[in-house]
Amino acid sequence: MTPLADTLQASGEIDPTWHNTFAAIDRAAFLPDRIWLPDADGRYRPIDRTQHPDTWHTAAQADEPVVTHLDTSTGTQIPTSSASKPTVVARMLAALDPQPGHRILEAGTGAGYNTALLAHRCGDHRVVSVEYDPRLADAARHALQAAGHSPLIVTGDAADGHPDRAPYDRIIV
């Protein structure tokens, strides 16, 4: 049971039918050991799980977005992947309205947290998630397996979908 699920329900962001799903999936399990949080100057500061475990876990359980990959190759900080704010995730999933047994196509696996929520709700074999970045796809696949889920993670362009498992009842981008 994650405290994040209780926080979301207390704020009215998830209804009781989603509470068990959010409670079963620990967002922290899908975040890398190093995440980045914005500071007062608008720059991102790294938070390492081993060096600052309390800060890292607080950020992982907060209702805030977390940058999971940062490109600094140009001398600036450009977020290239993030874990969305959980209330945004809850709203997107409520709008999607996936039901147990629905076949789901997700465009953009990212860290795999949303994928895990969908797999828990609909069934592992009912969820296909397409991720463009092979490193993110691999990390998400490993995190999902460690959490006991095995949806199909496809590395490729989500614009192509994944026709082998079509048709889908729901598509989330």
The 8-class DSSP code of residue 88 comes to: H
E strand residue ranges, 4-57: 34-38, 44-48
Whether 84 sits among the annotated catalytic residues: the reply is yes
CA 148, 97, 159, 64 torsion-angle sign = negative
Q: Which of 11, 81, 84, 129 is catalytic?
A: 84
157 beta partners: none
DSSP 3-state of 134: helix
What tokens appear for 111 in the block?
């860290």
Cα gap 44→67, rounded to integer Å: 8
Cα gap 126→168, rounded to integer Å: 9
Helices 86-96 and 16-24 pack at an angle, to 10 degrees, of 130
Secondary element (H or E) of residue 115: helix 113-122
Residue 43: other Cβ atoms inside 10 A: 10
Catalytic residue numbers read: 84
